[in-house]
Structures are given as C-alpha cells and as structure tokens.
C-alpha cells in the first residue's frame, strides 16, 4: 500500500496489527482474505464540508466494523474532517483530535483549534477531526431520554433515593431497548481501533494526537493498544486512567473540596468587599446556611428558583474566585428577599468539552439525523461499557453517597449517587484498559481544573512513564490549550514541531 512521501507499508501488516488488537490471532490476520484489509485500503473521498464554510475545511466518511471481533460483519460510518498542513515541504503528518465528552462531536475541531495552535504547528500537520462512533455524524445513537434522565448528578437524600434508583434503571432500560444491538460496541477501545483505521486509511505509519478531557483517556488507551503507531501526543486536562469510570465521578468531590477551601480563604480576606465572613470558617458557615435555606425555600433567580442541591451542583465554579463570589453574594441577597440572582455564575462551572460550535458543518454534507439525547446516550454507552466495575447493588451507592458527603460536604454525594451503569446489561465487553507504557506524551494541566483535577492528571502522568507534564500554576479553567494563550503554549509547540519533551515535569506561571 503506497503512502505519502513514497513510503510503503504492507496492507497485511496493517491488517495484522488491527486484527491482533481486535482479539484475532496473527494467523487469522494474515489469512488470504483478511476482512480487515478492506478498511485499511478504502479510498477516502474528500469534499468541502459546507458551501458557506472555509474552503480548506474538508469532510469525508470511512467505514469501520461495528464489531472488531467480526470485521466482516456489519459496518458503520465514521465521519471525519481535515484542514491540510500549511506547508507540503514541512509537513510532518496528521494531528488527530478529540474534544472530550465522551459523546461530543469532533468534526469541527480543525476549524476551532486552528487559531489556537501556533503557525509552526499548523504548517506541519493536517488537522483531522472526527465524530467518535455513535456520536454526531458517525452512526449516532439515542435512547429517547427525557431532560431529567439526561442529568448526570443527583444529590443523595434518603427521601429521594428510591426515585434516583428508578431513574437510573429507566435510563439503562431505555438505552438497551433503543440501541441494544450497538451499545456493546460503543467503547473507548473500539474508538481507539477506529482511530487506527483512520490512520491506515490516510496512509500514515503513525499519528500524532491532541486530546482534551475524556480525549486524554482515549489517547492514552490508543497508545496502550497501538504504541508503534503513536507519534506525538498532547493531552490537555488529563483524567486518571485508573479511575475509569466510577472513580472519576467520585474524584470530582475531593478536588471540589480543595477548591472550596481555597475559596473560603480568598473570600475571607476580602470580607470588606463581599461580606461573607472574616475567617474561612465564617465563609463556610455562610455558604452552609445559604444551602440549608435554599433546600427549605428555593432561591429566586432570573432563570427560575434554585434549591440547595441546585446550588451545590455548581461546585466546579469555586475554582473561579472572582466570578463565583459575586454569585454567592447575589444568591444570599435574593434569599433574604432582594432581587433575583443570576441562575449560574458567569464562568461555566463544569464545561463538557472544548468550545466547538457543533457538527452542523458535517451535517450539511452528510445530512445525518442526530437524536436529541445523542451525547447522553453515548456518555452512558462509554462509561458503562468500558468497565464492569460499577457496583450492581443500589445499597452500595447509598452507603458511598453518605460516606462521601461526610468526607466532602460540598459535593460528595453528587459523584457517589447511583448511575445507570448499575443496571447496564452484561453484554459482551472487554476488560478495562490498563494504561502503563513508555510512549512519549506531553500532559498540560491547570492547577485548579474543576473537572480534570490536578490529582487526576498526576494519575495519568504515573500511567505514562515516558510522558512529561506542564502544570499551569494558578490556572483555574478546564482546559489549557483549548482556553487560549498560556505559559504552556511554547512547550506544546516545541514538542509538536520537534518531538522533544521537556527534560522533566515543569510548573509555569504563578
């Protein structure tokens, strides 16, 4: 199979590598009629994504097997996009990208990320986005979930726990009734296999990669499954692979408590401005009284009324010191009979993904009908399908919610309460990927990230022995490169353009 720049690679080699990762034996991979060869050999037909969009923004589709253990069976579409490298002479290869989630479309990432990457990076890489399987324009799934059933975190109370259990069971039942033939195959490992099909179909020996949030886990899984095909991997706001996935939900609470403690200290030092208390203990007491009042009498806001649980659900906002504090003051004033407060803090509390627009550009080309609950359906398919470690007994969730709320009063119960994974059917599923390798990667991380916490990123760093990590001291948001200029940018550019990692882990800014 001819590759760019005159390089060649055997299609059988591509097929064998993919087959081994799909659970097939090398002998099967080298069989005369290896069904995986068709995926490596398929021709990609690029066309302009949207007549009103950038001419350089191209879209295409490739076929991938629904079930990699039976690659000759049912096929599904994988939508992808690209903006070619700015310099054919300096071109290094492909920079594949994922915006997080799971369940977030990535088709528009080349357009959204292009201005965030340096000119040196843009001239060396084709920027390639894709909608992961089951998402957006890539054979999307849906479960017909209501709005309430798409809410991921619910506070624990003894009075409402039975309702929480019923909701979780209903979500699982709806998803399996609607998409049960596909759900077992919507996993991180299969998305990583799809990435390798994209690599082979593009004619690349290796791929480089930029992953954000959940995309860091996907990238790490790819390096574990396909280390010889992994080139330069940038992981922005990393998750700990060892926490996939219930540990991640519960891990948010510990990070939130640290951020909340920092906030009480900050607010106490500015009591003359905000009037929330002269000591951290007084600020904490003021907040606790606000929550208790809101649970009795919801606080009026411009978007409705907020219960104490509604306010606590914004726990991620406490990393944004200058925006969350006026909001708490406004809520306190509204609770005392003053004007309605804003419904949320100015800064987004826990953003789901890189701020890409949507998959509308791809829809203009492909015309897929995406279910309204597509992201939620894909979230549960991945979180529940990646691992069998979710407890099956509802009482375990009750005990954990009570324990975690005692240890982390701000939000402990929100992460530990019952989820649909407790009732997910035990369809054929692979074990969760154990990430432990020496593949080079660069992790960039904000110190006070509310979702991919610093502790989670440190877990990723431990799993990737060949990686280096750059921490932005005082960084508050969820996302480093995706949020715009930071002190980590120079290191990202150096790594992507030269392949050289820092000699040691670094902290910048401050």
Rounded to a whole number of angstroms, the distance between the first and last alpha carbons of the chain is: 50
Host H or E run for residue 175: helix 161-179
Counting every residue, how long is the chain?
Answer: 510
pLDDT of 51: 80
Half-sphere exposure of 191 (CA within 13 A, CB side): 38
Q: Give phi and psi for 97, each to the nearest 5.
A: -135, 145
Question: 25-55: per-residue pLDDT in tens?
Answer: 343 343 446 778 889 999 999 999 988 778 8
pLDDT for res 335: 98
Per-residue pLDDT of 478-504, as tens digits, reads 999 999 999 999 999 999 999 999 999
The predicted model scores a pTM of 0.90
Distances (CA, A) of 304 to 146, 326, 340, 342, 344: 19, 18, 9, 9, 11
Helix (H, G, I), strand (E, B) or coil at 97: strand
User: Could you give phi then psi for residue 15, rounded to 5 degrees?
Assistant: -65, -40
What's the CA dihedral at 338, 340, 344, 345 to 10 degrees? -40
Pick the closest to residue 443 from 470, 474, 422 (CA basis): 470
Q: What is the pLDDT of residues 115-135, one digit of tens each?
A: 999 999 999 999 999 999 999
At 428 the pLDDT is 61
Residue 366's pLDDT is what?
52
Low-confidence ranges of the chain (pLDDT < 70): 1-33, 347-368, 427-429, 510
d(CA 113, CA 302): 34
pLDDT at 33: 60
């Amino acid at each position: 199979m001819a590759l760019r720049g005159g390089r060649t690679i055997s299609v059988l080699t591509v097929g064998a590598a993919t087959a081994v990762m799909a659970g097939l034996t090398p002998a099967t991979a080298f069989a005369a009629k290896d069904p995986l060869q068709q995926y490596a050999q398929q021709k990609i037909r690029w066309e302009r994504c949207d007549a009103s969009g950038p001419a350089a923004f191209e879209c295409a589709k490739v076929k991938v097997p629904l079930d990699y253990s039976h690659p000759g069976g049912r096929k599904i579409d994988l939508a992808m996009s690209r903006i070619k490298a700015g310099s054919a002479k300096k071109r290094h290869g492909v920079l594949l990208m994922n915006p997080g989630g799971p369940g977030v479309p990535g088709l528009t990432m080349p357009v959204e990320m292009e201005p965030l990457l340096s000119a040196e990076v843009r001239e060396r890489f084709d920027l390639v986005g894709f909608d992961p399987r089951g998402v957006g324009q890539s054979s999307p799934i849906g479960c017909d979930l209501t709005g309430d059933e798409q809410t991921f975190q619910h506070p624990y109370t003894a009075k409402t726990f039975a309702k929480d259990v019923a909701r979780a069971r209903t979500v699982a039942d709806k998803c399996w009734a609607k998409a049960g033939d596909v759900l077992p195959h919507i996993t991180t490992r299969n998305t990583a296999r799809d990435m390798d099909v994209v690599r082979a179909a593009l004619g690349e020996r290796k791929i480089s990669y930029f992953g954000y949030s959940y995309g860091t886990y996907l990238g790490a899984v790819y390096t574990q499954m396909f280390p010889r095909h992994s080139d330069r991997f940038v992981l922005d706001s990393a998750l700990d692979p060892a926490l996939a996935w219930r540990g991640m939900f519960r891990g948010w609470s510990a990070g939130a408590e640290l951020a909340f403690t920092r906030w009480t200290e900050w607010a106490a030092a500015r009591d003359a401005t905000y009037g929330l208390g002269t000591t951290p203990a007084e600020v904490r007491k003021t907040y606790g009284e606000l929550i208790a009042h809101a649970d009795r009498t919801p606080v009026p806001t411009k978007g409705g009324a907020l219960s104490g649980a509604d306010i606590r659900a914004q726990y991620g906002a406490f990393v944004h010191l200058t925006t969350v504090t006026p909001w708490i003051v406004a809520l306190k004033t509204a609770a005392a009979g003053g004007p309605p407060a804003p419904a949320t803090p100015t800064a987004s509390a826990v953003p789901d993904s890189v701020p890409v627009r949507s998959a509308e550009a791809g829809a203009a080309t492909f015309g897929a009908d995406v279910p309204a609950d597509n992201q939620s359906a894909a979230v549960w398919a991945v979180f529940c399908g990646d691992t069998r470690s979710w407890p099956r007994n509802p009482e375990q969730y009750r005990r954990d919610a009570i324990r975690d709320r005692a240890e982390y009063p701000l939000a402990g119960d929100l992460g530990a309460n019952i989820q649909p994974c407790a009732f997910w059917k035990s369809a054929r599923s692979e074990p969760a990927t154990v990430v432990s390798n020496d593949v080079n990667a660069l992790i960039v991380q904000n110190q006070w990230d509310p979702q991919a916490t610093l502790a989670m990123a440190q877990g990723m760093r431990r799993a990737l022995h060949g990686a280096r990590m750059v921490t932005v001291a005082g960084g508050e948001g969820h996302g480093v490169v995706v949020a715009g200029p930071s002190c980590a940018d120079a290191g990202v550019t150096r790594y992507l353009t030269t392949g050289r990692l820092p000699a040691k882990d670094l902290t910048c800014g401050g």
